[in-house]
Structure 1
């Protein structure tokens, strides 16, 4: 075997002592050099379960690493088991965390969490571009488990609007820190609440476009219907219809053709509700 072969390996599983005593469960990350394993590299992050791994750099292990998580960072096997049984739901409108490291030191690697994770609920699959200047992420959600109306528990899992989408990073800020969903098609939009234009120049000619970027706020609410009440406030009757999430969004387009989802949360109330204006 030639020397200098290095492979980064990620595994999910359990750790037991020789006497069978349980130690830990989660995701574990190693460098494999020929037949020698490095020290475990995610211990200081409490070993979250891993969905994907990508590395960009040389064989001297001085490159950049992305680790896409499979579930919320603090979930352990009992949480995952409860989710499989339908007793615990994945969070919505918070994204799926991606860890990044600029220098993967096998002794003391430093991991940073994304300040704005890619939208979705689970299983973040990450990939660097060949030049390492950008990265992509694809996520999944509750709808991946939906198996039809006749399947026991399917209605509780949901089948649409689970925020699973395609996101990019590296176009702004540090690569891996901020992820923006690309494309309106991956998000349920009930109506557009507002549109604003950020002008590139205040001295543009009167008939010339001074538009630099367009910002659009969209609302995604639970399906259902309003019941009018004589002398009182209308009552909303939700009809989930296996809908998973209801996340509102702010989008940005600087070319008038493509959109990035730069913010998403669940707003309270009825912002600019068109049905009651």
Structure 2
């Protein structure tokens, strides 16, 4: 009996050792080079599924600026395309997904704020957006939020961006809510509203998604600053530094500029040159 128990114990111990040797944190690929096999691990990345130009699910594929930045960073961490798993990261659930270990990282127009930094860690920023306005291409009457007095402004239900304009720039603006930005764009196309508001690169992505990308234009007068970061679980300092190195390389080798141009093609959009390309912050 004692011999059988000893053998069983050794077998169990060996299994535990092998399991420990096989485990790895995201970024600890063990292959020593870019574009490797990621040590056999899968990297789970949270993205938006419904933001044209940034994070959009198209059948079995995922496209957009955020998605391509995620792919670039993952490659630098040593993960091949077949090791990436993209999952939807709804804005309200992002912190919970990171805290519960549902994702390894999030690229989803995730603005870095002090409140969020209390519960998650951020790498980046990899882009600095600003709240702006989308209007008809032939509308020269709206050049900033102050021009919205007496006009109809659309934003998504629950967003604070339109309220901010009403409180700070145009008290007489009429606010119109829609369940999604695609519905706001449809209202703009029909003339039911005069403008749509959210972050400038999101607006550019919406314009680029039209059959004719010159139908609308981003006013180009941003009035806020939103630093898009890579959401990570707390305590991911080493991984944060690896991601920041990848972001810096992406900017220096010209890929960042190419991706911005690709996903806003035809709209005339230009990223705010005073804020972009950004310099990643030091990791905590």
Higher normalized helix content (fraction of residues): 2
Higher RCO (Cα < 8 Å, 6 or more apart): 2
State the TM-score, normalizing by the size of structure 2: 0.25
Higher normalized strand content (fraction of residues): 1
